[in-house]
Chain A
Amino acid sequence: MSGDNEETQTAGETSADQREVPDKVVNPEKSEEAKLKSKYPNLGNKPGGSDLLRKRLQKGQKYFDSGDYNMAKAKIKNKQLPTAAPEKTEITGDHIPTLQDLPQRKPSLVASKLAG
């Protein structure tokens, strides 16, 4: 196989590689983390915790419930209705879908283009 020789590491070298990075070069992951925290200061400290996992467990298409929607509208008379927040810690189920959030209707079932 032709190709450049890249870092194929054997056992024991994985963490050593990071230690070899000179001190003045910041760990790229940590600098990325700093970037993220500056954009979203409300981000919790435990990303792998229950919030993220529970969001994963509940993945599925949001369904519009007119009852929920009208109740929410009635409660929050002056404020804006909650829209799909860019918040990564949001838990599905707490969020009431609005008309803008709903995905478009699926088209009818047709044959796969791979078979065409």
Chain B
Amino acid sequence: MAGPGGDMQWCFSQVKGAIDDDVAEADIISTVEFNHTGELLATGDKGGRVVIFQQEIENKNQPQFRSEYNVYSTFQSHEPEFDYLKSLEIEEKINKIRWLPQKNAAQFLLSTNDKTIKLWKISERDKRPEGYNLKEEDGRYKDPNTITGLRVPVLIPMDLMVEASPRRVFANAHTYHINSISVNSDDETYLSADDLRINLWNLEITDRSFNIVDIKPANMEELTEVITAAEFHPLQCNTFVYSSSKGTIRLCDMRASALCDKHSKLFEEPEDPSNRSFFSEIISSISDVKFSHNGRYMMTRDYLSVKIWDLNMENRPVETYQVHEYLRSKLCSLYENDCIFDKFECCWNGDDSVVMTGSYNNFFRMFDRGQRRDMTLEASRENSKPMQVLKPRKVCAGGKRKKDEISVDSLDFNKKILHTAWHPQDNIIAVATTNNLYIFQDKVN
């Protein structure tokens, strides 16, 4: 993974998207996800569109190879809909994309907006039939009287065409807004979670799903917390977790009962009540939860930190990393401009040794668990010369600002990196700014 010295040096590789500052709402990237081999990289945006990039490996034998990601397929996954009963528009924004493991020549992914999940098949076509008996080459039907002979059509090569077609539509199962989808390791089922409920689906069946978690209180006045994220365990098909707006994570075992309202494990860090403030609950709300690849740990992201939990220890995380602690003294203004409600995601690298998450000012942070080191990098057009090494950034919380440091008050809170993804095997990362996708790779020493 890391070079011989253990140090990773991140270089700019590519950037996708428009340069202009005037960002159309539809172009706001809302999700980024590598497939299981890392060959494909999918993005979803607020306009309901999915763009898939494919890695083209050039000269892997050379010491400094560049793997470029180029557009493979793009399609309109979801369209805006209208709920007539509630007079509310249903956004077409893609909340999450999850790839299915590849089983045949085609690729499959699940994409979801607030209400509907769709299974898309992405397949390649590089041959076409020629020499039909009943049709002309342009498709017109021949006059049957002119047909005198019989021939077998042949398949001739054609330019590669990548087609995306919706194979399943899983609709009408969520009253509230879907925040997560997760494919099970059993290759048959997946879960979808909204603010109050989690449903279990079979990938083949669209007209029914099982409700496995329901935290809706009988009286909505008693509502104290909502579900913020959910994920299946990567190896145990009976286990899943869901996080809440109160900073707790519940692990559930589907073998225990049909309705998993009673958790098997409850992960919660005790809080010092004397430190409690108006903001405590809001900043403790977990915006993302991700299992490690080996299934032994899970990572949670709350507003100011990233926490690593050992699944065998419920009473506190084993590691806590401060993402941008300097924002603790800015919570008032962050509440006023709604930034305190921003939902940052987090991700693991392939061998679970490094974790990454985004921040403001187009900064993103990496924490090396083994080496106990962290790094702040920036995704910007200024650092986008080919193979340019990214310089670590430093934020000055107060006092004297050193050269090259940026003060907290100069941070641009409109430039948020909410979505990042790490290639499952290599040190290649995809970082989404508001409307651009940056691809960085580790300089191979």
Q: Which residues of A contact B (CB under 8 A)?
A: 1-15, 18-19, 27-33, 35-37, 39, 43, 45, 47-50, 52-54, 56-57, 59-61, 63, 65, 88, 106-107, 109-116
Residue of A nearest to B70 (CB): A115
- Kindly identify which residue among A33, A65, A107 contacts B87, using a CB–CB cutoff of 8 Å: A65
- Shortest CB–CB separation between residue A113 and chain B, in angstroms? 4
Task: Report if B376 contacts A (CB, 8 A).
Answer: yes
Q: How many residues of B contact A (CB 8 A)?
A: 83
- Shortest CB–CB separation between residue A105 and chain B, in angstroms? 11
- Shortest CB–CB separation between residue A33 and chain B, in angstroms? 4
Residue of A nearest to B88 (CB): A60
Q: How far is the CA of A10 from the CA of B332 in the complex (A)?
A: 28
> Are A8 and B367 within 8 A (Cβ)?
yes
10 new A-B contacts at CB < 8 Å, known A12-B316, A30-B277, A57-B226: A8-B373, A9-B321, A11-B316, A14-B316, A28-B328, A53-B226, A106-B25, A106-B80, A112-B26, A114-B43
> Are A57 and B317 within 8 A (Cβ)?
no
- Kindly identify which residue among A1, A33, A50, A59 contacts B222, using a CB–CB cutoff of 8 Å: A50
Q: Which of A109, A111, A112 has the most CB of B within 10 A?
A: A112
> Are A28 and B318 within 8 A (Cβ)?
no
Task: Report if B335 contacts A (CB, 8 A).
Answer: yes
Task: Report if B79 contacts A (CB, 8 A).
Answer: yes
Complex interface: chain A residues within 8 A of B65 (CB): none
Given contacts A15-B272, A27-B277, A116-B18, contact A109 B329 (CB under 8 A): no
Q: How far is the CA of A30 from the CA of B25 in the complex (A)?
A: 36
Task: Report if B47 contacts A (CB, 8 A).
Answer: yes
> Are A107 and B24 within 8 A (Cβ)?
yes
Of the 9-residue stretches B97-105, B133-141, B279-287, B291-299, which lies at the interface with chain A?
B279-287
> Are B366 and A1 within 8 A (Cβ)?
yes
- Kindly identify which residue among B24, B26, B269, B372 contacts A14, using a CB–CB cutoff of 8 Å: B269
CB within 8 Å of A: which of B287-343? 316-322, 325, 328-332, 335-336
Residue of B nearest to A58 (CB): B88
Given contacts A5-B372, A32-B329, A61-B88, contact A115 B74 (CB under 8 A): yes
Task: Report if B125 contacts A (CB, 8 A).
Answer: no
> Are B373 and A1 within 8 A (Cβ)?
yes
Residue of A nearest to B328 (CB): A28
Given contacts A3-B375, A106-B80, contact A50 B279 (CB under 8 A): no
> Are A49 and B331 within 8 A (Cβ)?
no
> Are A53 and B89 within 8 A (Cβ)?
no
Task: Report if B275 contacts A (CB, 8 A).
Answer: yes
CB within 8 Å of A: which of B73-104? 74, 76, 79-80, 86-91
> Are A32 and B372 within 8 A (Cβ)?
no
> Are B220 and A50 within 8 A (Cβ)?
yes
Complex interface: chain B residues within 8 A of A18 (CB): 272, 275
- Kindly identify which residue among B8, B49, B224, B332 contacts A53, using a CB–CB cutoff of 8 Å: B224
Q: How far is the CA of A8 from the CA of B51 in the complex (A)?
A: 36
> Are A47 and B322 within 8 A (Cβ)?
no
Complex interface: chain A residues within 8 A of B90 (CB): 60
- Shortest CB–CB separation between residue A5 and chain B, in angstroms? 6
Complex interface: chain B residues within 8 A of A13 (CB): 320
Complex interface: chain A residues within 8 A of B269 (CB): 14
- Kindly identify which residue among A3, A7, A19, A60 contacts B392, using a CB–CB cutoff of 8 Å: A3
- Kindly identify which residue among A19, A56, A113 contacts B18, using a CB–CB cutoff of 8 Å: A113
Q: How far is the CA of A67 from the CA of B148 in the complex (A)?
A: 71
Task: Report if B221 contacts A (CB, 8 A).
Answer: yes
Residue of A nearest to B228 (CB): A56
Task: Report if B256 contacts A (CB, 8 A).
Answer: no
Q: How far is the CA of A61 from the CA of B90 in the complex (A)?
A: 8
Task: Report if B374 contacts A (CB, 8 A).
Answer: yes
Residue of A nearest to B221 (CB): A50
Q: How far is the CA of A32 from the CA of B279 in the complex (A)?
A: 9
> Are A112 and B27 within 8 A (Cβ)?
yes
